[in-house]
Amino acid sequence: MTAQYGLSIAAHQPRLGKLCARFSRVAAHHPYAWFRQPRSAAEIATVTPQNRLVGFPYPKYRNAIMEVDQSAALLMTSVGAARQLGIDPSRWVYLWGCGDAQDLWFVSERVNYHSSPASRAAGEQALGMAGVTIGDIERFDLYSCFPSAVQIGRDMLGIRADDARPLTVSGGLPYHGGPGNNYMTHAIATLMAQLRAAPGDKGLVTGLGWYLTKHSVGIYSGAPPPRRWRRHVPDHDQAGLDSMPHPPLATTPQGRGVIETYTVLHDRGGAPIRGIIVCRLDDGRRFIANTPDDRGVYDGLMAQEGIGRPGAVSSRDGMNVFTPT
């Protein structure tokens, strides 16, 4: 996302620290969070032995924590069933709108790596069904496996980067923790408790699965929706998403290319061990490659933005190798 925002790596890192610190502070006050220690933006952004790099640009404190002992559950009924069960109406929370969509399944086929057309479509479905705009939402929980998921989800929903509204009610996967995708249940359960206390508010929760592939959005309120429930059928939107143009894949590329996105993986000691690059050939085809096993290459990609950087690729013995120039 650094290049998409027109920032240098040095300028983007503190912004990521501030984004994540907001999540950390929420988790610190959540009674069921796995980590209730608030961390500052500087602490989250600074690489240390305790906050080692995992996959550049994310050190440990920006990664989802799934190995937790947590559980959450939701009880969903009709209004009629809730009355028959004797559930006090003050505890009712209503689903106003929902949306579901899926981006192109293979990561190599994505339109680009800084947006999610499916996330935008799911948000539009949910907002349209609820009859509200993003400005009408008081509370959010954006799926937060990594900062890029938060940034893309925020951008696709049309939330400004400087919006003061908190983007999480529970604290997010790196700080609240969550057993895989069941983190969503924790987020919705937390939101329900808040909406019971403020029934006039509306809250929006997003979820995703796989590599930012499958997206869901739900809008909730403690007040009943003003319009009749009518689910938007996402099939039409999905057909358009599935047919979006995307670059063909070159499996054995040769020649010159330009970096689209990349990461540098690290071992548990914090040492770089592999560079993974997604590039475009001069003819527009996309390819995926490793970098040479060269500390200088790793350090160069981590010191200065590599997106847009040219280089040469060769394919040999089933391995694509891209060398930046």
Q: Domain residue spans in the chain?
A: 9-242, 255-324
The per-residue DSSP string of 189-235 comes to HHHHHHHHHSTT-EEEEEEEETTTTEEEEEEEESSPPSS---PPPTH
Q: Flag whether pLDDT at 1 surpasses 80.
A: no
Among 3.40.190.290, 3.30.300.30, 2.40.50.840, 2.30.42.10, what is the CATH number of 255-324? Answer: 2.40.50.840
Q: What is the pLDDT of residues 71-95, one digit of tens each?
A: 999 999 999 999 999 999 999 999 9
The per-residue DSSP string of 49-117 comes to STT-EEETTEEGGGS---------------HHHHHHTT--GGG--EEEEEEEEE--SSGGG-S-SS--H
**pTM of the complete model:** 0.94
Q: What is the pLDDT of residues 173-226, one digit of tens each?
A: 999 999 987 999 999 999 999 999 999 999 999 999 999 999 999 999 999 998
Q: What is the pLDDT of residues 39-67, one digit of tens each?
A: 999 999 999 999 999 999 999 999 999 99
Query: For 95-103, what is the mean pLDDT?
Result: 96
Q: Flag whether pLDDT at 232 surpasses 80.
A: no
Q: Name which CATH class applies to 9-242.
A: alpha beta
Percent of the chain residues topping a pLDDT of 90: 90
| Residue 322 phi, psi dihedral angles, 5° rounding | -110, 130
Q: Which residue has the higher pLDDT, 265 or 318?
A: 265
